[in-house]
Chains A and B, each alone.
Chain A
Amino acid sequence: MDPPPYESVLQDHGNFFAPVTAVSKEFEIEVCDPVKQGEGVAAYVSYKVRTKTTHSAYGSPFFEVIRRFRDFAWLHDKLVEKNKGLIVPPLPEKSAVQKYQMATDFIDQRRRALQVFVNRVASHPVLKDSRELQTFLQANEEAWMLEIAKWQAETNAQHRPVSAAAQWLKSLQHSAQSLVSGRADEIQEDPEYIKIRDYVNSLEAHLTEAHRQAGRLLRKEADMGSALAEFAAAAEALGKQDGEGPMRSAFGCLFTRAGEVAALSRSRSEALAVEFAAPLKEFARTIKSVQTAMGDRAAALAAYSQAKSDLDSKKVRLAKLRGTPGLKEDKIAETERDVNEADQRLRNAKLGYETIRDTMREELNRFQKERGVEMSALLRDFALAQARHTAEQAKAWGELLRDLQQAQQGQQAAA
């Protein structure tokens, strides 16, 4: 099933239940109605999460729950934990400072981003069937609080699992070691994958830069609007000086039209933020998700590699022992057991790695295709919107010209 193009995920449905695109979707989730709860340091924002679904595992087609940012974070972290190798859609930033300020802009931005997040999860071929998603979308207050409490206890109690970065570092060490020891049977990473990995890393840098530029562009649009408005005000004052003369009305026209154009610029700036800058940001965040998955894969590979070298060294020891005459039987048996355990571990590690590897192959293909389509659509829509916007401005200026000409003709006729 094709993933939803970006705009449909982001659109505020006027009528929530109206079909959005030609492609019928299994899920339509709306995140809306942000409400500030609590006071001071403990304050937070709650959102309504409304789901419309045709998924068989869900009892009813419509339901609504109340969730806060922390709850979305639960969903994200759980999915990452349980689905190594999958590219889990990214969560918007935690941003403690802005949260305290609770500006309306920020809250609306976050709301949109959360809506995108949960809809992407619901359109992911694997994640849409997950139990975690169902719990998130359906669980009532009590069941939910239990779930959260359990999660918080888990994360507090156990020491944090070694992060992917640390694991990757370990794998580096391991590779270095084996390089030194000259092991020829080191398990190599698939070269195809390496290309993609490098591509993804570089893409992230480019996208972050593109996002910064988009930000600059939209600030510039806003600035232009205000500069134009100020110019128009200065011109109007100039015109008023003329008393009731013809210049006053002419400058008055300029003021009105320029005001229109300035308002257009302002609204354009706001639209740009939503239509262009935010998607780029989300794209950059998704790349990070991809990098996390790649980190998991690297870790799995390292574990696999380590298990293999472990087994090899144990086998060597066994062979040595067997070769030595007059050794106790139970010593050999013990070593044989070691070898069998190491072999089992190796099989597990190999399975673990190969699972992630195969999952990721699918995922990366899907990711590239999906993002390719979305990126095209994004760029095209950006260009179209720019076209529309500048055309509207051109029209306003054309009308000013007509106004001025008419005023002049009127004057000449009267004279």
Chain B
Amino acid sequence: MDGVNKLGMRTTYYTYLVRTESHLPGLLTEGTEVRRRFSEFDALHKLIKAAYRGYIIPPLPEKSFLDAKLGHEDFLRLRRADLQAFLRSIAHHPALRESEALKLFLLQPGELQYNPAWIALLHSIGSSPDAHEGLVSSLVPGGLSGGGSTTAKAAAGFSSLMSWVRHSVLVPSKRELDEDEQQLRQAKELMKDLERLLQLSCESARIMCSHMESLAGDLYELGRNMGMLSKWEETLRAHSGTYTEAGYSASKRAADCKQLSYASAKQNSVWKAAAVKTAASLVSLHDYYILVPEAVNALEERERCLDQIHELEAELGAKNQELSKTAGGRGAINGRDRRAYTLTNSVDKLEEQLKALRDQYAVIKQRNLEELRRLHLAREQDFRAMMAGFAAVQAQLLAQSADMWRTTARSFAGEADATPRRLADDDSQAED
């Protein structure tokens, strides 16, 4: 499956041309083209995130349009590349590619904001930017806010009640986490650590490449200076006369300086290419650097789910206690004990919600485990390829540079007797 982005221009915002070819059973197409703007990519990202909790969702590029350093064109070029990478990684993910939202995104012509199916999807995750509330209501049809009171104010109060309940004395403050859960929490710490290490690696890779660039610049300057020196020696030769002793030595020196000047100019291009190729060979570092925080997010989804379970359990516990305190206890339906009746209803609802949450938790945990394994394998493969690529690039470029220097050395008009021994040494070294 392939999504290809291209840039198109509109009056106040930019749209991107998305071309898809696919042989996937759910997504069969020979080449559909649609136009999407950034907000639609953003919505797709949100939808997938909501529907696939526990999976590592590829990240979207930054929303902000303002980046003073980049020119307009450069910004668009980078964004286009990022958006393409985003779509491609979703398409490569065994689970995410099944997404309904993705299908709509890739195949539906016309603007998505007028598409009823799309609107329905968005609606189901709620228009509220608060992820917590929105996601919770997507899992439980009634929504927790429906279980308590219906006014918004009460909903706010409910959240604070929930956090009080979590910390309250009624509930044992330290939940025993089972072994799986502990392992996964450790995995999260490792991920965070990995993120930090990747950042360090990216930064030092960047510094390395910038050094190569500036070395290229220095070689260029050296070449220029040698060129000027050569011209000056030429002038002297012209003044002295080519066949005088002074003229002859001047012309030799002019030739030498010119050789070095050419050599430096060629070396300059080699090192410039080196900088670019090295950066390209290490791009995996950056790719994982932006992916690892998403892995952390995926793991945190599970933790959030577990927290919700704990909150509900606590609330259930409290309600049950209240129930046992009332006169009739459970099952009393006589009108005298309206309170017991209400409480029993709440308890039943809560137990339903709890069951749904527990099921969801199991799903998310399973996804987490799968993803961690998938990530680990992919990382191994990608990093190994990256290192081999990096080493190959360095070896090739340096060998090229060495060859050029050797050629330069041979071309110098030097003393015939000077160091024939040393030249022979070099040749034997080169054969190693």
Contacts and interface: CB of A to CB of B under 8 A. Distances in A.
Contacts of A247: 379-380, 383-384
Interface in B109-149: none
A375 B203 CA distance: 41
Contact of B253 (A233, A372, A384, A391): A372
Interface string B191-228: 00110011011011101100110110011011001101
Given A247-B380, A376-B413, A234 B201 contact: yes
B430 interface: yes
Interface string A145-162: 000000000000000000
Contacts of A177: none
B352 to A, nearest CB: 43
Contact of B415 (A223, A373, A400): A373
Interface stretch (B64-72, B312-320, B332-340, B386-394): B386-394
Contacts of A253: 387
Nearest to B393: A397
B46 interface: no
Chain B contact residues, majority secondary structure: helix
B158 interface: no
A59 B393 CA distance: 63
A224 B426 contact: no
Contacts of B214: 220
A125 interface: no
A365 B245 contact: yes
A322 B398 CA distance: 87
B240 interface: yes
Interface stretch (B3-11, B161-169, B294-302, B403-411): B403-411
B388 A213 contact: no
Contacts of B418: 5, 377
B401 interface: yes
Nearest to A403: B391
A82 interface: no
A210 B405 contact: no
Interface in A219-265: 220-221, 223-224, 227-228, 230-231, 233-235, 237-238, 241, 245-247, 250-251, 253-254, 257, 261
B221 A254 contact: no
B432 interface: yes
Nearest to B403: A387
B204 A227 contact: yes
A394 interface: yes
A271 to B, nearest CB: 14
A398 interface: yes
B414 A383 contact: no
Interface stretch (A133-141, A195-203, A300-308, A342-350): A195-203
B246 A390 contact: no
Interface in B69-126: none
Given A206-B225, A383-B408, A384-B409, A241 B387 contact: no
Contacts of A351: none
Contact of A224 (B211, B380, B392, B419): B211
B211 A223 contact: yes
Counting chain B residues whose Cβ lies within 8 A of the other chain, the interface size class is: 35 or more
A379 interface: yes
B18 to A, nearest CB: 35
A233 B194 CA distance: 14
A376 B225 contact: no
B399 interface: yes
A379 B240 contact: no
Contact of B218 (A213, A246, A257): A213
A233 B219 CA distance: 28
Contacts of B190: 241
Given A368-B249, A376-B413, A401-B392, A393 B215 contact: no
Interface string A303-329: 000000000000000000000000000
A375 B395 contact: no
Chain A contact residues, majority secondary structure: helix
B243 interface: no
B222 A220 contact: no
Contact of B198 (A238, A380, A388): A238
A257 B390 CA distance: 12
A247 B384 CA distance: 7
Contacts of A389: 402
B226 A237 contact: no
Contacts of B311: none
B201 A195 contact: no
Given A387-B402, A390-B405, A230 B383 contact: no
B354 to A, nearest CB: 37
A357 to B, nearest CB: 16
Nearest to B198: A238
A368 B198 CA distance: 57
Contacts of A369: 245, 249
B236 interface: yes
B222 A380 contact: no
Contacts of A261: 394
A400 B236 CA distance: 50
Contacts of A234: 197, 200-201, 203-204
A6 to B, nearest CB: 11
A203 B218 contact: no
Contact of B414 (A230, A376, A393): A376
Contacts of A372: 249-250, 252-253
A375 B413 CA distance: 10
Given A241-B194, A376-B256, A216 B218 contact: yes
6 contacts: A247-B379, A250-B384, A254-B390, A365-B246, A390-B401, A401-B391
The 4 closest A-B CB pairs, nearest first, are A387-B405, A394-B398, A397-B395, A383-B409
Interface of A: 5, 22, 192, 195-196, 199, 202-203, 206, 209-210, 213-214, 216-217, 220-221, 223-224, 227-228, 230-231, 233-235, 237-238, 241, 245-247, 250-251, 253-254, 257, 261, 365, 368-369, 372-373, 375-377, 379-384, 386-391, 393-395, 397-398, 400-401, 404-405, 408
